[in-house]
Amino acid sequence: MKWVKFILGSVVLVAVATFTAVHFGGVETTRLRTQIDQLKQQREQLLSYAQRLTARRRVAQVDVVRQRVDQRGRTVSTLLWQEIGPDGVLGKPVAVETIGHLVYFEALVLKFEPQFVGEGDPARGTSLALFRRIFGDCQAPDSVAELDRVARPPLHETDAVAKLHEELWRKFWDFVDDPTLAARYGVRVAQCEAPAVPLKTGQVWQVGLDALGGLNLTRLDLSPAPTTNPPATSRPRAPGRADSHPPARHNPPKAG
């Protein structure tokens, strides 16, 4: 990539400039030091740009509470769904029942031009997802109710950002039909996405959203880390507090 080549080139130039500064004094040294500082600043900016392009954040969590087989031999799963805000705040838990081996998580997704993402635009610095429905492969999508929007976590946005986001979602289907309009708003892709995975009781899945891309489903491994047996003469030690907490587990409300 161009930014990688630029960073490597700037490192070489800084080294050469430093060597030259040792052998020359006065005005030339001052000029070279200024150039070095500028190159270092540009390098940091490019690194930040690249990090924003490759960033990913958690946007939802799914707990597979229980499963059963109905009279027709289909898998019926009870799930606990929670959306996660940009600041990590969990939304209200929602119980969802699906029918089928595969479970789909459907959302409207807006992906923005790399320039907005790389520069950290306040409103378009990462892709946006608006979840609609969760259903199994033995269900027609239009047969299930849409997710309760009240259960979504609060968004701590400025008025300007909130106003633009509201307008973007209001024009979502217009972006799908009109690429020129989408480009005017910096929208690169407007589409529905519905990744699906087979689920098993006791599993916990997270839904991730790439800053420049779309949705991803990842199963979390919540098994305890292996520990060594303590000496026979020592008393068992109580488990310490983990450095990072596993996703929250909840007693599910009754599915409606």
- Residue range 122-144: mean pLDDT, rounded: 96
Amino acid at site 201: T
Rounded to whole angstroms, the maximal C-alpha distance in the chain is 89
Q: How far apart are CA 51 and CA 2, in angstroms?
A: 15
Q: Crossing angle of helices 2-23/27-53, nearest 10°?
A: 160
Residue 145 reports pLDDT greater than 60:
yes
pLDDT of 195-216, one tens digit each?
A: 999 999 999 999 999 999 999 9
- Which tens digits make up the pLDDT trace of 154-165? 888 999 999 999
Read off the pTM.
0.74
- How far is residue 124's CA from residue 114's CA, in Å, rounded to a whole number? 10
Please name the residues in contact with 249: beta carbons below 8 A apart, sequence gap of 6 or more: 63, 204
Distances (CA, A) of 233 to 226, 229, 230, 238, 239: 21, 11, 8, 16, 18
Residue 256 confidence (pLDDT): 42
Beta carbons within 8 Å of 114's beta carbon, 6+ residues apart = 53, 188, 212
Q: Which helix (DSSP H) or strand (DSSP E) does residue 74 occupy?
A: none
pLDDT (tens digit per residue) in 160-185: 999 999 999 999 999 999 999 999 99
Encoded tokens for 122: 């306040």
- How large a percentage of the chain has pLDDT more than 90? 61
**Residue 76, phi then psi, degrees to nearest 5:** -110, 120
